[in-house]
């Protein structure tokens, strides 16, 4: 194509790259992390509730 150097490629074509700060995937990362935390906290709370129910059942059957 007649490009003389990689520096010339960056100088000429960088304006066509939407996010040259390399943060273009950060929105998706944040979304995935938020959904993972939400699922983890929901899972932990249901595990805790099941544990409490089991303990209550154990107390009732031991009486």
Q: What is the pLDDT at residue 41?
A: 79
What is the tens place of the pLDDT at every residue in 34-62? Answer: 988 888 877 777 666 777 777 666 666 65
Q: Tell me how long the chain is.
A: 63
Which of these, 28, 30, 32, 11, lies nearest to 20 by C-alpha position? 11
């Amino acid at each position: 194509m007649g490009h003389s150097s990689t520096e010339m490629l960056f100088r000429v074509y960088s304006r066509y790259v939407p996010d040259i700060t390399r943060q273009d995937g950060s929105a998706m990362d944040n979304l995935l992390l938020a959904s993972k935390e939400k699922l983890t906290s929901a899972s932990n709370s249901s595990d805790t509730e099941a544990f409490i129910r089991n303990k209550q059942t154990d107390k009732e059957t031991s009486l």
